Amino acid sequence: MRLNKFLAQAGIASRRGADDLIKGATVTVNSMVEVNPAYQVQNSDDVRYDNKRVKLGLKTRVILLNKPNGFITTVKDPLRRRTVMDLIQTEERLFPVGRLDKDTTGLLLLTNDGELANRLMHPKNQIPRIYKVEIDRTFRRWEVNRLATKVYIGQKEWGRAEVVQQEQIKGRATVLLRLHHGKKREVRRLMYRMKRKLFTLERIQFGPIHLGDIQQGEWRDLNAKEFQTLNKLNS
């Protein structure tokens, strides 16, 4: 098994995160620093990260957090800003599946299974996410069509979103948007390009998992049915 996959399955990090850890010379195999993510781990190998032995066999855990405003999506922050990990009372090593901006609220999954996280985050799998945005006005028909096709969002990137539902109440509109990509700050960049004033942004669904009525700052483990449906995605 490749070293990066081994670390991911052990819950150290996602596959991409494991690549960074290995290339950063933080992983040893049989007391020697190993910087090749493709190294084939043998059963007899002593693999260590941060001088702690890495073993397989962890029970996969996935939790759902309703992320509040003002928290950054990272495990550790060198600037000592508040992170989503400050909200979770567990000593188990967990890491976020993807990211939500500091000022974005809503559904965030965290897990100890790097392989699962890698599948859920990989762009080729196009797992849908639904966001609820509050903006100043709804989209006209031609704008809905444009959003569904593609919109230039800067930095040589194009964004795309499907308008699922929209409703105007006085000076604010509530719109549900479905995205399949996950580019950095994509929804915010789309709203800027579509000349909409964005008041709030909340993720309410990730694949088959719904945010539900869990309060901001609270979290729970996925139930067996949720975990089963999530684990089947692009497996």
Long-range contacts, 51-54 (Cβ 8 Å, 24+): 54/6, 54/7, 54/10, 54/12
Are 151 and 188 spatial neighbours (Cβ–Cβ below 8 Å)?
A: no
Q: What is the pLDDT of residue 234?
A: 62
Going from N- to C-terminal start, the domains of the chain cover 3-53, 62-124+214-231, 128-206
Q: What is the pLDDT of residue 111?
A: 92
3-state class of 54 per DSSP? coil
Domain at 62-124+214-231: CATH code = 3.30.70.580
Residue 46 DSSP one-character state? -
* Environment class of 199 (CB within 10 Å of its CB; exposed 0-12, middle 13-18, buried 19+): middle
Tokens at 61, concatenated: 């855990």
Domain at 3-53: CATH code = 3.10.290.10
Are 67 and 73 spatial neighbours (Cβ–Cβ below 8 Å)?
A: yes
Q: Is 156 left (phi over 0), alpha (psi -120 to 50) or beta?
A: left
Whether the full predicted model's pTM is greater than 0.85, yes or no, is: no
Q: Could you report the per-residue pLDDT of 161-202, keeping only the tens digit for each?
A: 999 999 999 889 999 999 998 788 999 999 999 999 999 999
Output the tens digit of pLDDT for each of the chain's 235 residues: 899 988 888 878 888 889 999 999 999 999 999 999 999 998 888 999 988 888 776 678 899 999 999 999 998 888 889 999 999 988 788 989 988 999 999 999 999 888 788 888 888 888 999 999 999 999 999 999 999 999 999 999 999 999 999 999 988 999 999 999 878 899 999 999 999 999 999 999 999 999 999 999 999 999 989 988 887 776 5
CA distance 194 to 105: 21
Among candidate residues 133, 190, 114, the one with its CA nearest the CA of residue 159: 190
Domain at 128-206: CATH code = 3.30.70.1560
Are 146 and 139 spatial neighbours (Cβ–Cβ below 8 Å)?
A: no
Among candidate residues 170, 233, 171, the one with its CA nearest the CA of residue 206: 233
Residue 214 contacts by C-beta under 8 Å, 6 or more apart in sequence? 64, 66, 220
Quick check: do 62-124+214-231 and 128-206 share a fold? yes
Q: Is 154 left (phi over 0), alpha (psi -120 to 50) or beta?
A: left
Q: Which of the following is catalytic: 19, 101, 103, 136?
A: 101
101 annotated active-site: yes
